[in-house]
Amino acid sequence: MKASHLATLTFWERLTVALLVRSPRTSLLVVKERDTSIVFVSADRTDPVASYVVSGLQNPDPACMVLERIYHAPSFGEAE
């Protein structure tokens, strides 16, 4: 992660983002700074929902449909 991607965040906010990105318990992290159009996305490739969200960034479907698919996706360990 380059510092220029999250330039307006404070030191503590950048540190928090760095810790969350490196955590084995975090599979998807999306940070959008207020009043900017810059979005930072970090996703675990082994998590199907996180990879779907990242691939959805190039998806022509509206964001509401992507979120609805995620909402209806089975939880970890749950049968479809």
| Residue-level pLDDT at 12 | 92
| Residue-level pLDDT at 31 | 84
Q: How confident is the model at residue 74 (pLDDT cuts 50, 70, 90)?
A: confident
How confident is the prediction for the chain on average, in pLDDT? 77
Q: What are phi and psi of 68, to 5 degrees?
A: -65, -40
Query: Domain ranges in the chain?
Result: 3-72
Alpha-helical segments (H) within the chain: 11-22, 48-55, 63-72
Is 20 in contact with 9 (CB distance < 8 Å)?
A: no
The residue-averaged pLDDT of 54-75 equals: 73
- High-pLDDT (> 90) share of the chain, %: 2
| Residue-level pLDDT at 4 | 56
Residue 42: strand pairing partners: 29
